[in-house]
Chains A and B, each alone.
Chain A
């Protein structure tokens, strides 16, 4: 006997997207640092910024309004259009 059930899922076949190639050097590249607004994330990112600048990178800082929600679309687009790479930092 064949029984038929209705699929309760979103029926999205997960499409795997290839990652962008890794930068071979950060020298002369623009790196975004995204603070997710958790406590002490800024300490971690300050240190990362210092190390990146020592290696010749230009650093841009960004901040999500709250760590509990995904970054707003505008912010994601700004990062994507202005940066060669981004580091999203956790904290606590």
Chain B
């Protein structure tokens, strides 16, 4: 939208709600008698009295001409601004107007007030109204009688829950959450293998219910998900129930108020719930991955709406998951894991680490099937009351993982087809071998959960390693 042409002569911008403008109102009347003067009023077209006022309550002239404070006085020739005075400063005004005397009885100087056209509450609305945004996405106009929430369902944008309407203002506000340019490509998103811009991520983050400060986490999660190692394409397409699980580490957890404590995998925390949802909406809407279409899960799991949580680093006996995967301490990261729903490990009696490790092992052994090994990774989410047992005994992360590896060596004769009267199992050739349940690095240890309850949790993985998906760590950039 082009800027409205300014009238020649002197041009003043004022608002009634500004004491300095009220102070200079008589000066404007004085000037109008001697010079060509146009006065734009931002909040009240009847102010100031005694001069002809141009109504700028829609702020079009103020916005286009970059008025930052009122009063602002301009000198305009042939529609072009030649001079500008901001606030009331007698000497400046006299020089600009070319008059020997002005505003007798007024103080020499008074600063002005903020212009309504730069009011933070209105800045985005005005940028949208005057077409100043660089957003490139297609505009979808809703008809007057169309319910906007129903319209989003009807267009297939929803995961089954209501969405926040992605208006231009909300998307611009979301983009304030990152320093990255809206047109920067974040990832190639499967299954359609589409280049996805920061802007498209922001639109889907708005719909998911994110706050702008969550956006860097969503962007990092998307980058990690769309690597060949994580293979979100296969994870989407699989008949198994897994979906992307996001573990957040580092200072950003607290900065955006994530939950790592009570009900950590459950409902109730906006950041946890909406970051995971935003990732899934990008896969759905940008990548084109939809349930029943490319997503062929037999059962799926409720975490495919959103499964995102933070590690309780402060209460942990161990270094954070991110550090164990190679991140520098103190950096904010996401770790993507291909996971199904969490399952509880109850052990209310073990008070020594060996006993508790054995409890973990017998539960981990059953993952997906007790007779299948080396096929799936797992997150072992140790609750604070269980972690206390290892802390008190001085067991490091490596020691616990090493012990689990020892305890999860399984005789091949228990694994072969037919063993235990169960057809499922491994070929007869492994009968004399001993096989580990998990590949090296196949258990990811995370500390999280509420302070009460002698419980931990297992999040089972999908086809692990290079044939399927590997956990991927990504630093969160602002």
A binds B: yes
Give Cα A68 to B236, complex, Å.
Answer: 10
Q: Mark A1-29, 1 if CB is under 8 A from B, else 0.
A: 11111111111100000000000000000
Give Cα A44 to B82, complex, Å.
Answer: 83
Among the stretches B45-53, B137-145, B245-253, B342-350, the one at the interface with A is: B137-145
Which of B168, B233, B237, B238 touches A6 (beta carbons < 8 Å)?
B168
Give Cα A63 to B415, complex, Å.
Answer: 28
* A8-B203 contact given A3-B167, A66-B468, A68-B468, CB 8 Å threshold: yes
A64 CB → nearest B CB, Å: 11
In the complex, are the beta carbons of B231 and A2 less than 8 A apart?
no
Report whether over half of chain A's contact residues are helix, strand or loop; otherwise say mixed. Answer: loop
Report whether over half of chain B's contact residues are helix, strand or loop; otherwise say mixed. Answer: mixed
Which of A1, A3, A7, A70 touches B138 (beta carbons < 8 Å)?
A7
Q: For B143, list chain A residues within 8 Å (CB).
A: 2
Q: For B144, list chain A residues within 8 Å (CB).
A: 1-2
B157 within 8 A of A: yes
In the complex, are the beta carbons of A4 and B138 less than 8 A apart?
no
In the complex, are the beta carbons of B139 and A3 less than 8 A apart?
no
In the complex, are the beta carbons of A6 and B192 less than 8 A apart?
no
A47 within 8 A of B: no
Q: Mark A37-57, 1 if CB is under 8 A from B, else 0.
A: 100000000000000000000
B463 within 8 A of A: yes
In the complex, are the beta carbons of A6 and B203 less than 8 A apart?
yes
Interface size on B, residues (CB 8 A): 44
B105 CB → nearest A CB, Å: 50
Give Cα A10 to B234, complex, Å.
Answer: 20
B194 within 8 A of A: yes
Give Cα A66 to B231, complex, Å.
Answer: 11
B260 within 8 A of A: no
Give Cα A75 to B169, complex, Å.
Answer: 46
In the complex, are the beta carbons of B166 and A6 less than 8 A apart?
yes
Q: How large is the interface on A (under 10, 10 to 19, 20 to 34, 35 or more residues)?
A: 10 to 19
In the complex, are the beta carbons of A68 and B165 less than 8 A apart?
no
* A6-B141 contact given A68-B231, A68-B238, A68-B468, CB 8 Å threshold: no
Q: Mark A66-92, 1 if CB is under 8 A from B, else 0.
A: 111110000000000000000000000
In the complex, are the beta carbons of A8 and B286 less than 8 A apart?
yes
B176 CB → nearest A CB, Å: 15
Which of B165, B233, B281, B288 touches A3 (beta carbons < 8 Å)?
B165
In the complex, are the beta carbons of A12 and B194 less than 8 A apart?
yes
**Smallest Cβ-Cβ distance to B142: which chain A residue:** A3
Q: For B238, list chain A residues within 8 Å (CB).
A: 68
B145 CB → nearest A CB, Å: 10
Q: For B204, list chain A residues within 8 Å (CB).
A: 8
* A4-B140 contact given A10-B194, A68-B463, CB 8 Å threshold: yes
**Smallest Cβ-Cβ distance to A37: which chain B residue:** B467
In the complex, are the beta carbons of B148 and A5 less than 8 A apart?
yes
Q: For A11, list chain B residues within 8 Å (CB).
A: 137-138
Give Cα A2 to B463, complex, Å.
Answer: 48
B469 within 8 A of A: yes
Give Cα A8 to B192, complex, Å.
Answer: 14
B285 within 8 A of A: yes
In the complex, are the beta carbons of B286 and A9 less than 8 A apart?
yes
Q: For A68, list chain B residues within 8 Å (CB).
A: 231, 234-235, 237-238, 463, 467-469
Residues of A within 8 A of B (CB): 1-12, 37, 65-70
Q: A9-B286, A68-B237 are in contact. List 8 more A-B contacts (CB 8 A).
A: A3-B167, A4-B139, A4-B140, A4-B141, A5-B140, A6-B167, A9-B288, A68-B234
**Closest 8 A-B residue pairs measured CB to CB?**
A68-B234, A7-B138, A10-B194, A8-B285, A6-B137, A66-B467, A8-B203, A68-B468
